[in-house]
Structure 1
Amino acid sequence: MKIYIPFAIVVLACLIAFQPSQATRYAIGSPSERHLTYSFWPPQSNAEGMYRWSDGESWLRLFGYERVSSFQISIRLIGPVQIRGEETTIRFVHQGEALVEVPSPGTWRTYHLLLPNDAPGWHTPQVLVGGTLTSPMPDDGREVGVAISQVYAQPIAGLHLLAGLEYALFLSLLLGLIWYSTHWLLGPRWGVGSLLCVGGALLLWVRIDPTSSSFWLPPLWGGVLIPIGSIALYQMTNYLISTMQHPLRWLGIGSGVGLVGNLLVYTKQWPILGFIGLVLGAALVTAAIIKQQPQEKPKEIGIHWYIFGLIACLILALGLRSFDLEHLPVGMWRDEARHGLLALRILNNPGYRPIYVAQADIPALLFYMQSWSVALFGTTAFAVRIVPALAGALSALSIAYVAHQIWGGRAALTAALLLATSTWHVWLSRLAFAAVLDPLFSLIGLGLLWRIIVGRVSGRDSIIAGFGAGMALGLSLYTYHPARLMPLAAMLWITLNLGRNWAAWRRALPGIITTAVVALLIVSPLLNYWFTRTQDFNQRVGQVSLLDRTNSEFALTTDLNQNLVRYTLMWHVQGEENARHNIPGTPMLDPLTGFLFLIGLLLLLRKGQAKIGLALFALLGVGLIPGMLSTEAPHAVRTVDAIAPALLIATYAGLRLTTALADQPARLRRSMISVGVAIIGIINAASYFGHVPYDPRVWKAFHYTNETGMGQAIHDGACAGPAFVPEKFAATEVLRYLATGHEVRAFEPEAPPTQLPPGACLFLAGDSSADLRSHIAQQIGIQPQVGRYFPGSEQPIFWIYRLPQAQ
């Protein structure tokens, strides 16, 4: 790289970063204030002009003033005075310190504040405008503080050096990344041209509109450091390949370093050292695999062993997903019970045949399937959970099918094993959610599409395969929200493989057209619902989408940057925090699978696997889109479609690893495979069954543990007569579902019934006080019993009073 390129990058970055801030006048209701106000009520107008009411904790954000060491802000406002005979106040807070608190003015008044900006680096100055909350009008239900109509800001002192340097460093990395990417993809001239064009455009933008530029393009460190780190890791691997001697020796060293490092990260012991070990180990193993050229490849597995292996994986998957399904997780979540009630309604009401259920906000396929299990097993937690459990177990076969189409039988068994034991997938499969139905159908469809596009079928067989692919992909759209992106995944799956090979396009076209037509026919009722009831169809998506900026504090770019970091770290460092979906904070992949995943990413970047790599990367990217564009990142359920491609990438690493050892004794290879299988199985099984039953965070996350325990007891016949349940529990969907067909009466614990009919039982929450339990015992003459304990503890889930039946 010539010296003038980095010099030009640094000069451009400094010119942009050290542009002087400008005085800015913000008028409420005008475009100039769209980034200024946060958590204010919408603009209103009267004879004096436009204004906004604060809601008590409202902020003025001075984008574009990060680079100045001090500034002045003038705020024109009015506040209500002596509402209900009480004097009201206003206050201003900056950097956590109260500036002033005074009685609010009864007329419009301008306040001038001189503020320092001594944050350690780039930080957008913010001023809190607070005060007493009142109601502006008798018929207005809002609570408001003060009303502002104009804000004027101007820089006072000089440059905030640390902020400017931080921004210059960020811009240098961003421009360098743009130059490198364009240079690598298109050539040197394109690289220089893109650098000059982008740099000039940014300079002009910052000069003309510093407010918008600071709002949309603050230092987005994740957006530059993650791709730069990926490029550095790739280049380090290339260097190791060119210099490595004795690859088998380094293969062993890298495997040890990487696994130990990932274990340190997984257990949160010396995570920084562990992460360095993980990355270094992955680079060493990748380089050794590429460098090692065995004389012969391992023989393909025989058909009998292949079938036996698939059956074993299926049994293992089903066992992990169905063991004690009635009681693990301990409580039913409200969505699970709601799904059960909908299944019961479909079962009992022949006139109720929905396509999409707005109440549950998902298509109705899950509820039809659960209606069969409810008919068979009754209104139990097992009845609604067994359908996703079976779908999750069968997904081991569907991912095996895809892996077999791409790489063969050994890869198929590896992929099936990884999915069968994946804690991430096991967790979701044990909940009565529709999420795991999506990969089951989409993987079958993608596997059949692969047969079409690589030419394994042609003519009539291609049309038959297309019919199956269309059926599977069409049904996937009836499962869960992320499946709406499956058409995009299928299109990328096709185009990235066929590319510009027009002969291959002509050969595959009949199957592709059949797939599209069949999928469209199957999904047409759902499309009709979408067109006619768009608001219902997109309700949940709109609630969690980052694209809805109504209550967003910062720009979309800031939120996307944050999500990018979180979804990059979720594989090895920090997984989802919601204890309903994951052990809080635990990485989504176990240490060995996570290590193989990182190696697989590096291997698939090689030119020899370009088509397969691009297809799997595209599938992984599509699977992550729902999470990237929504809140609460990382989210295990919304990214359910990322599980399969991640495990396929790990599968490829395992396949290449065994190929690199083909010249080694068969006993060594079998021992390594056995140890790997044991590590994956033990860690994943222990992660779920060793934590979920006994973790209070999981009990708390499911929230409805009292109702679940009471409802299960009622369903199992604990009461010979009516069941008396505290009122706050009786109305919940969980208890209504589990106690269907039984007489349930609600009562207030503070005023319990003094007389109960023979055979009746009365329930109290597990955390009810001893005084309350004693009071009720005196009222009805029966001592309570613990109905059930939380697993591994002496903490009751609920208490029960049982009256004897009449003689």
Structure 2
Amino acid sequence: MRAPGDAGPAAESRPARTAGRWEAAALLLITLLAAALRLYRLPEVPPGLHYDEAFNGVSARSLLEDGTPRIFFADDMGEEPLAISLVAVALALLGEEAWIIRLVSAVAGVLTVPLAWWLARGIFCRALPALATALVLAILYWHVTFSRIGMEPIFVPLTATLAFAALLHGLRDAGARRGRRQLPALLLAGLALGGSLYTYKAGYFVPVLAAAFVAYAALLERGFLRRNGQGLLLAAAVALLVAAPLLAYFAAHPDHFLQRPASVALSTRANAPQDALPAMVSNLPEVLGMFFVRGDANPRSNLPGRPILDPFLALLFVAGLARAVAHFRQPREMLPVLWLAVMVVPTLITTDAPHFGRAIGAPPAVAALCAGGLAALRTWVAALGRRLSGVGPGILRGATAALLGLGLAFSGFLTARDYFQAWAQSGDLFFAYDEGLAGIAHYVDGLPTDEAVYLTPTPADHYTLQFLLQRQLASFDGRAGHVFPPPHRAATQVIILAEDEASLPALQSARPDGSVTWTLDDRYGRPYAVAYHLPPRPDPAPAPPHAVQAALGAGAGLLGYALDAEVAAPGDVVHVILYWQALEPMEADYTVFAHLLGENNPEGGGPVWAGHDSQPDTGHYPTSAWQPGEVILDVHPLAIPAGAPPGQYTLEAGLYLLATMERLPAWQATGERLPGDAVVLGTLQVTIEEEEP
């Protein structure tokens, strides 16, 4: 029987339950704020669809089509599978819209926020700094930006936060000898640690951080390994089991593992290996400065130059760092410092520092340090209040809470303003997110389906175009040739003026009957692209100045050629423009040879004095892409040697298969096979100008 006034265990737990409800409600509101910042106007901001985002979309679509799970995607310099696999699920459920690719990242970013609360609960063991950690991460500009990009880096903080939140709670329970609660947490920690390798290259550092934390705890906390050794081995075994398929793949394909890191690592970019250390030392001020002074300059990843921390968060961060260092004997308190040190290494040892994408594992640590700083400031102010007379502790605590709340609100306002106004309206995003190509795809999809459409000079297999286009598009490089449609077929040629200034005037000269039907400017008002419509006619291409009429195999005809100079001197470069016509579809990609022949060349031991071999249009319009009836203008430069004697030289051309070096049979219009399967084009006069006395 209870004594009078004894409310019993149920009553004693009522305040704890009430506090728990308030904490849950606060966490829900913070998560909703995170969702608002990551989902608001997601179909519009960022604009367009960046190449790497589109790669994830194209790869996800391919995954859905063949139904075969993949451990690694070797294209695009290698991509880990987690993000692409989740994008495939989203596309299957919600449809193949560009913003769905980004929705997967946004959801990952939102989920990281409550996980950050769980992580901070394990670090601080108190509600306020745990909620503050979640709130700072929710409003952190860096994390908001990457949560809205349809790429894989945002999964690094997600898996890292889950791994260490579970690990800390598993270890805490182990210390309290509650083994039944330890097991699920440590299993989850191992799953997330192994899963971090499937996210992004920066995720490879998450297990490194785990090893560093365990080593630090074992060094400073007596009996740590004795109490937690079995649990840690269990987590490590699960992590290794999860990572095993990817590790086995890399063992079989080491080049896939090294390809992307080697392309940006200082050790491979430096002139010599010994230059890598000075390069890292040079990177160090840039990496440290990204928090307070100047951040990533890439407009895709940041408002160029914006530091990670605004002034208020910088104050909290410094205070939190000081607090953590002061508690260096407590491994949990030092975890955010270790985390930060390890996760900035990827940008420290690579080019283009500071690179926010490579350091993307660090935001949870930044948030935890800011939360620790907030707790430290409250403690320091409370201590100051006890020393001051005439100021009530309640008033001081209230004023402190109000100021800290206003500071966090100010930081949230800065994030929203800088992202949705300053950054979203920046003209730099037009190219940073391939907005122009997205506009071209939208325009092309609206053209009549029976009309041929060509693009120059961006290839049609650009991932942004691959994902967005709903119809067939051919592409060539107008700077090295041109393609005209088959007879009696209308066509539209889309020219990206920002890269190809030559095609539009050349096309207007060759086909004055055409007209400009569409234009696109970039965000600065500069012409970016134009569409030139060619009405159908029986002779869609201009006639060659020099007619030839020859056939090569069953698929190619050579109508003639043009020269940019009929007379040349030794040392000159003469451009031969071959006029091909596609007769039948060709499966193979043949190489064109163009030769300048004369008397025996003593250097080469034969009649060839100059030559140029390449696939048509320098490989941008290979023979396998030719459609029957098309006329392809194909430019080949012939560099005449300085020692070439004056005289009349012969021009010849033909096609061969590079793999076998076998030439395609060549016939005259009369049906007679040509010697050497080479079409004799005509002659070129080489003269030596006499010096004036």
TM over 0.5: yes
Change (3 A) 1:577 1:718: same
1:452 and 1:466 in contact (8 A); partners too: yes
Name the residue aligned to 2:49. 332
2:408 is aligned to 677
Q: Secondary structure, in 3 states, of the residue corresponding to 2:344?
A: helix
Equivalent position SS for 2:153: coil
In 1: Cα distance, 2:504 partner to 2:471 partner: 29
Q: Which residue of 2 aligns with 1:734?
A: 463
Q: How many Å separate the matches in 1 of 2:269 and 2:497?
A: 42
Question: Per the alignment, do residues 594 and 766 of structure 1 end up closer, same or farther by CA in structure 2, a change over 3 Å counting?
Answer: farther
Provide the rounded CA distance (Å) in 1 between the counterparts of 2:276 and 2:516: 59
Distance across 2 between alignment mates of 1:685 and 1:777: 52
8 A Cα contact 1:464 1:511, kept in partner: no
Distance across 2 between alignment mates of 1:803 and 1:549: 47
- What residue identity is the alignment partner of 1:708? A
Would the alpha carbon gap of residues 335 and 735 (structure 1) be closer, same or farther in structure 2, given more than 3 Å must change? closer
Distance 1:711 1:542, change over 3 A: same
Q: CA RMSD in A?
A: 3.4
Task: Give the 3 Å change call, closer, same or farther, for CA 527–660 of structure 1 in structure 2.
Answer: same
Q: Could you tell me which amino acid in structure 2 is paired with residue 606 of structure 1?
A: A
Residues 779 and 429 of structure 1: CA distance in aligned 2, closer, same or farther (over 3 Å): farther
1 or 2, which has the higher helix percentage? 1
Deviations 1:30-87 (A, max 9, x none): xxxxxxxxxxxxxxxxxxxxxxxxxxxxxxxxxxxxxxxxxxxxxxxxxxxxxxxxxx
Tell me how far apart the structure 1 counterparts of residues 425 and 506 of structure 2 sit (CA, whole Å).
Answer: 26
Contact 1:712/1:738 (<8 A) preserved: no
Query: In terms of Rg, which structure is larger?
Result: 2
1:620 to 329, 332, 340: 340
1:650 aligns with one of 367, 370, 388: 370
Aligned-partner SS, 2:406: helix
Structure 1, unmatched stretches of 5+, are 1-298
Deviations 1:96-147 (A, max 9, x none): xxxxxxxxxxxxxxxxxxxxxxxxxxxxxxxxxxxxxxxxxxxxxxxxxxxx
Which secondary structure state, in structure 2, belongs to the residue aligned with residue 436 of structure 1?
A: helix
Q: Of 8, 15, 24, which residue of structure 2 is paired with 1:307?
A: 24
1:646 and 1:399 map into 2 onto residues whose CA distance is 11
Q: TM-score normalised to the size of structure 2?
A: 0.65
Q: 2: CA distance between counterparts of 1:409 and 1:721? A: 65
Match of 2:662 in 1: none
Q: How many residue pairs are counted as aligned between the two chains?
A: 501
Could you tell me how far apart the structure 2 residues matched to 1:377 and 1:737 are? 19
Show the counterpart of 1:784: 517
Aligned to 1:286: none
Q: Whole-Å Cα distance in 1 between the matches of residues 527 and 110 of structure 2? A: 33
Residues 719 and 802 in structure 1, CA contact (< 8 A), matched pair in contact too: no
For residues 4-403 of structure 1, the aligned pairs below 5 Å read: 302-350=19-67, 352-360=68-76, 361-403=78-120
- On the 8 A contact 1:470/1:517 being kept in 2, the answer is yes
Q: Determine the C-alpha separation between the residues in 1 that align with 2:228 and 2:133.
A: 26
TM alignment of 1:342-741, pairs within 5 A: 342-350=59-67, 352-360=68-76, 361-407=78-124, 408-454=126-172, 455=175, 458-499=178-219, 501=221, 503-548=223-268, 551-552=271-272, 555-607=275-327, 610-661=330-381, 663-665=393-395, 667-702=398-433, 704-714=434-444, 724-741=453-470
Q: Is the 8 A contact 1:340 1:737 kept in 2?
A: no
Task: Supply the distance in 1 between the matched residues of 2:487 and 2:111 (Cα, whole angstroms).
Answer: 52
Code of the residue aligned with 1:465 in structure 2: it is A
1:460-500 superposed Cα distances (whole Å, 9 cap, x missing partner)? 22111111111111111110112212222112223323446
Q: 3-state DSSP class of the match of 2:356?
A: coil
* Pair 1:744–1:617, CA change in 2 (3 A): same
The 8 Å contact of residues 708 and 734 in structure 1, kept in 2 or not, is answered as no
Q: Secondary structure at the match of 2:453?
A: strand
Residue by residue over 1:502-549, the C-alpha shift from the partner in whole angstroms, topping out at 9 and shown as x without a partner, is 544333233212211111111110110121111211211122222336
Aligned counterparts of 1:694 and 1:795: Cα–Cα separation in 2:
16
Q: Distance between the aligned counterparts of 1:400 and 1:777, measured in 2?
A: 66
- Tell me if the contact between 1:747 and 1:753 (Cα under 8 Å) persists in the aligned partners: no
- Return the alpha-carbon distance in structure 1 between the equivalents of residues 54 and 509 of structure 2: 30
**Shift, 1:552, TM fit:** 4.0
Mapped contact 1:424–1:582 kept (Cα < 8 A)? yes
Instruction: Give me the whole-angstrom Cα distance separating, in 2, the residues matched to 1:780 and 1:674.
Output: 67
Distance, in Å, in 1 between the alignment partners of 2:256 and 2:533 is: 45
Q: Which residue of 2 aligns with 1:189?
A: none
1:672 to partner: Cα distance: 1.6
The 2-side partners of 1:552 and 1:719 are apart by 56
Q: Secondary structure at the match of 1:394?
A: helix
1:780/1:387 CA distance change after superposition, 3 Å? farther
Residue equivalent to 2:473? 744
Query: Is the alpha carbon distance of 1:798 and 1:397 closer, same or farther for their aligned partners in structure 2, counting shifts above 3 Å?
Result: farther
Query: How far has the Cα of 1:600 moved from its partner?
Result: 1.4
| C-alpha distance 491-303 of structure 1, shift in aligned 2 (>3 A) | same
Q: 2: CA distance between counterparts of 1:552 and 1:542?
A: 14
Q: Percent identity?
A: 26
- Looking at secondary structure, tell me which structure has more strand per residue: 2
